[in-house]
Amino acid sequence: MEGADGPARRRHRPVAHTFETPQDFGVTGDTVHFTLPTRWRGVRDGKTFSELGGWTFVQVREAGRWRIRSYGWAVVDFAWGP
């Protein structure tokens, strides 16, 4: 994604996403963890696709503000087509 033409070089162009109900929420002091299931629909290499995955976030409160300490993404289902 570097340079003025970076976005045009991307093979994977999501056109829509939907966040589902957060899961696995937990708090320990100033640290929070949760998982956010996400559905993506878009175009890749000229073909439509649908993808279900999940973000997992660890956030920490520092100086009264929440900051992302770490995150990860995993795909649990992927399909080509409408």
Which sequence spans correspond to the domains of the chain?
12-80
pLDDT average, residue stretch 55-82? 93
Pairing of β 23-28 and β 47-62: unpaired
Q: Enumerate residues 6+ apart whose C-beta is below 8 A from 12.
A: 42, 44
pLDDT value of position 5? 63
Sign (positive or negative) of CA dihedral 17, 72, 77, 25: negative
Higher pLDDT, 16 or 1: 16
For the domain made up of 12-80, give the CATH fold.
Nuclear Transport Factor 2; Chain: A, (3.10.450)
SS3 of 7, please? helix
Please write the tens of the pLDDT for every residue from 46-59: 888 999 999 999 99
pLDDT value of position 68? 95
Higher pLDDT, 55 or 7: 55
Higher pLDDT, 16 or 65: 65
pTM for this structure?
0.65
